[in-house]
Amino acid sequence: FVKEMTKMKKSDFLEPKIKIFEGDDAIINLYSQTLENGGLQKSFLTLDAFHVGLKQFLTKQFIELKKRKKVFSRVLVASGKRSERYKALDGVSNRETRIVKGHPFQLYAEIVLFGGTQVAIIDFHQQIYGMVINSETFYKTVETLFDFVWQAQKF
């Protein structure tokens, strides 16, 4: 196995297509990376599983970084206890939130589209981890799903 991994280091790839992040500090790094290119983010967010260790970062520092980097987010959340309160903070959070009513739209992980080719998937259940997949094809596929749901929620 070690020999195979050593060969991979010498491959033609300049950068990994999938990056894995584990633990609070790594997830903060992942969220910060989503802001590097500025522009528009599209996100499917779960508000049911919110990691306490990241609350300070996500509610304060992340929003300030978003404003500084001129990032605006379109966010889809499932209806629930926290969704109206979350949407009420759109004006100060550089985002527009649309609430998707009920079943079958349940989100168990967060998905953030950013940079035109990157998709972050973050899971706050049991063990916090995330990944970033750098693929224009995958990005466009998930973006198509996002845009479909986004348009269906116009009031």
| 100-129 pLDDT, tens digit each | 987 788 888 899 999 999 999 999 877 889
Residues 89 and 84: their CA atoms lie apart, in Å, by 9
Q: Check whether 4 has a pLDDT greater than 60.
A: no
Residue 65 CA: distances (Å) to CA of 39, 114, 120, 124: 13, 15, 18, 22
* Mean pLDDT computed over 16-42: 92
* Mean pLDDT computed over 81-106: 90
Backbone angles phi, psi at 25, to 5 degrees: -65, -40
Q: Which residue has the tokens 């049991």?
A: 126
> Tell me, what's the pLDDT at 1?
45
Q: Check whether 9 has a pLDDT greater than 80.
A: no
- Please give the model's pTM, rounded to 2 decimal places: 0.84
Q: What pLDDT digit, counting tens, does each position of 41-63 carry?
A: 999 998 776 667 787 788 888 99
Q: Check whether 94 has a pLDDT greater than 90.
A: yes
> Tell me, what's the pLDDT at 103?
73
Q: What is the CA radius of gyration of the chain?
A: 16
Residues 75 and 34: their CA atoms lie apart, in Å, by 14
Report the share of the chain in percent with pLDDT over 70. Answer: 87
> Tell me, what's the pLDDT at 15?
62
Report the candidate in 110, 111, 100 with the shortest Cα–Cα distance to residue 138: 111
Beta strands 129-134 and 118-123 are antiparallel
